[in-house]
A and B are shown apart, each in its own frame.
Chain A
Amino acid sequence: MAAVPERLAAQLCGVPLATPVIGASGTYGFGGEYAGIVDMAWLGAISGKGLTLEGKAGNEGERLYETPAGLINSIGLQNPGVEHFIRRELPAMRALGPKVMANLGGSTIDTYEQGAALLDKADVDFIELNISCPNVKAGGIAYGVKADSARQVVARVRKCTAKPLIVKLSPNAENIVDMALACQEAGADGLSLVNTFQAMAIDIERRRPVFSNVFAGLSGPAIMPIALRMVYQVCAAVTVPVVGLGGIASAGDALAFIMAGAAAVQVGAANFVNPRACEDIARGMADWMERRGVESLDEIRGCAHQLS
């Protein structure tokens, strides 16, 4: 098996990544599910299933709904809780090789703080603060829409951890650039964007919304161009590194996010289309770079901002 080429090496908040490709939270379990399919050496990191302090059973009713170029989900942060993760899931996740990103949600600022304090003492490389889950009633997106709410929760969590703190933003924010700046000012070491777009579906035979929560989150290729625009805007405004995500389905998509300024990318729904998507995308990026004589991602990162 060919070694992962050096040209793919990336850095995120001072942590070296073998490649800029990260399995996105909520689509990658805790990584082990893909171990028989993917050569994990091609992943820079894995962002685990979103955690909450006490764990959650997730949402009732329908959880998945396909659209022509996307997937609407209403999982509702089903997870075993932070302590269970640290004790039972983290050792195996760590052993896979890619850097470990613990994705942390909450319902109140207190639970965010307690979760972050636990993760701070655990063997994780990053904490990805999820202030953007559209599928839980309390917390989550409540903090992801208003920049002032986000500023508050990020500032409080910042005090609980010395780990690299990446704040995952919602595209449903009132203004994505204001939101990004607020999180940066509150002490975020990095940003990841975007989470899913709030969406819905209606079952015309039942004459009711498909999802118990009425609204749910749209991901997949349908959202990629909008996500790319938001990442481009945010990269122009902030100084912290940005992880780009939202409908990335190919090496070309991933390279576009790097050219928009992203330090790294996350791959989500594409893992459901092709369980080897993360590896295939990383390999495809390396192939493209080799063909174009690009020795390092630094040569192309943000290049799309030079408009003349």
Chain B
Amino acid sequence: MPAQNCEAVVLENSMQAADIYLLKAGLPAGAAAPRAGQFYMLRCWGPDEAPLLSRPISVHEYDGEKRTVSFLYQVKGRGTRRLAALEPGSALALTGPAGNGFLLEGATAVVVGGGIGTAPLLQLAKDLARAGVVTDAILGFRDEPYRVEAFRAVCRHVEVATDTGSVGHKGFVTDLLVPGHYDTVYICGPEVMMEKAARMALGAGVRTYVSKEAKMACGLGACLGCTCRTGEGAPVSVCKDGPVFEGGVFYGSGT
């Protein structure tokens, strides 16, 4: 289904950790339901106000009964600062759901997230659990973890790694990843982490999916601003062909 425009209403917008916010919004009647791994273009400022572009943010959680969609985002610049200032009751313009979303595969799976890259993995973990897939989570943070309890509610095991050692394992998520234990590995995080985890998983012969981040102008596949080079194939649009890709598209067959 192609992306739509809609006006959502902010229900909650709360700080989860330093610069990390969780925004829950109610979708209007008729708005399409998102799948895990899809995203929306968010805008809560006028067309003649800066920043010019809306901001692509992935679906963190979707409640089909209450028709609410949640976004977990990091305040990085002007756009996300404006989002962070939203109060309950405010209007939020959404374009989406956009992108392809995750495929649910296998009998066992692990979601591997780094920092704000954990955001799209929660709805994925929920959907996997609902589909009967035994799911673990390995979540990496610089210092202060967030939303770990939400993962615990739906995953068999949740492990946390922090760069500083403040919580859980001191080090990287890839220290904790044993890809051979799973049928499918889902990864989202900083490029360096994503590449390392994906190469480990691909090297172990495990089906691997990565969710990519990119600057976007349209979010619809029209502007070709988020084009990503692939290993061998044609260039891909992160917004339209992705943001979820098989790991081999970018990282060959592994290490």
A residues sitting closer than 8 Å to B (CB atoms) are 26-29, 32-37, 49, 57-58, 60, 62-64, 66-71, 73, 75, 78, 220-221, 249-250, 269-277
Contact = CB atoms under 8 A, between A and B. Distances in A.
A277 B240 CA distance: 20
B166 interface: no
Given A64-B217, A69-B50, A275-B95, A75 B225 contact: yes
Q: Which 9 interchain pairs have the tightest Cβ spacing?
A: A36-B2, A29-B222, A33-B222, A33-B220, A64-B225, A272-B217, A63-B225, A273-B47, A78-B224
A289 to B, nearest CB: 21
Nearest to A63: B225
B1 A73 contact: no
B35 to A, nearest CB: 16
A270 B223 contact: no
Given A57-B235, A64-B217, A275-B218, A37 B5 contact: yes
B2 A68 contact: no
Most-contacted residue by chain A among B5, B43, B235 (CB, 10 A): B5
A58 B2 contact: no
Contacts of B53: 64, 66, 71, 272-273
A37 B5 CA distance: 6
A270 B52 CA distance: 9
A60 B53 CA distance: 21
B169 to A, nearest CB: 31
Contact of A71 (B1, B43, B217, B227): B217
Contacts of B47: 249-250, 270, 273-274, 277
A73 B218 contact: no
Given A71-B52, A249-B48, A58 B224 contact: yes
B2 A35 contact: yes
Contacts of B52: 66-67, 69-71, 220-221, 269, 272-273
B3 interface: yes
Contacts, number: 106
B82 interface: no
A276 B224 CA distance: 18
B50 A29 contact: no
Interface in B20-49: 41, 43, 47-48
B181 interface: no
A68 B51 CA distance: 6
B67 interface: no
B95 A37 contact: yes
B157 interface: no
Contacts of B217: 64, 71, 73, 269, 272
Most-contacted residue by chain B among A28, A57, A274 (CB, 10 A): A274
Given A221-B48, A250-B48, 16 more contacts: A29-B221, A29-B222, A33-B220, A36-B2, A63-B224, A64-B223, A71-B52, A75-B223, A221-B52, A269-B52, A272-B53, A272-B217, A273-B43, A273-B52, A276-B5, A277-B47
Contacts of A28: 222
A101 B4 CA distance: 25
B63 to A, nearest CB: 23
A73 B224 CA distance: 10
A285 to B, nearest CB: 16
Given A33-B218, A37-B95, A66 B51 contact: yes
A36 B2 CA distance: 5
B147 interface: no
A297 B173 CA distance: 62
Interface in B200-223: 215-218, 220-223
Nearest to B235: A57
Most-contacted residue by chain B among A27, A66, A220, A272 (CB, 10 A): A272
Contact of A37 (B4, B50, B224): B4
Nearest to B93: A274
B218 A58 contact: no
A119 to B, nearest CB: 20
Interface string B97-136: 0000000000000000000000000000000000000000
Given A58-B235, A66-B53, A272 B5 contact: no
B156 interface: no
Contact of A33 (B2, B51, B234): B2
B48 A27 contact: no
B221 A33 contact: yes
A68 B222 contact: no
Contact of B235 (A66, A78, A249): A78
